[in-house]
Amino acid sequence: MPTFIAVHKWKPQDEITITKELIAGFTAIVEGKSPKGVELCATYSTAAQGAFCVWVAPSKQALEKTFDQFCPTLKKYTEFVPVVQSYPPTMEYVLGLWQLMVKAASK
């Protein structure tokens, strides 16, 4: 499943609106009402009106649709960056290395 980092940096005047949206969004997650396949893995808050969140989702569009539903104001201040985990290595990474080793040894 694709992984994304949502980079958030909002204006101070939108703090209360965004906090209300986050309450609604996190409540939906806790209650199991978030869209299927869209999962929040981690959130890192900054000192001033910002955060970095790690998500897995079927697509960037699915993640954007989730923000349209729960956090439309925050979405205006968000960049969704597709990423690939390199450390610690994922199972997909390890399997890829093993496949390369078998292919090289088979020659």
| pTM as predicted | 0.80
Q: pLDDT-based confidence at 9, cuts 50/70/90?
A: very high
What are the residue ranges spanned by the domains of the chain?
3-105
Give pLDDT tens digits for 80-104: 999 988 788 888 888 888 999 999 9
* Mean local confidence (pLDDT), 39-44: 96
Taking 90 as the threshold, does the pLDDT of residue 7 lie above it? yes
What CATH class does 3-105 carry?
A: alpha beta
**What's the confidence (pLDDT) of residue 38?**
96
Burial classification of residue 95, based on how many CB atoms lie within 10 Å of its CB (0-12 exposed, 13-18 middle, 19 or more buried): exposed
CB-CB contact of 69 with 57 (8 Å): no
For residues 50 and 39, the answer to whether their CB atoms sit within 8 Å is: no
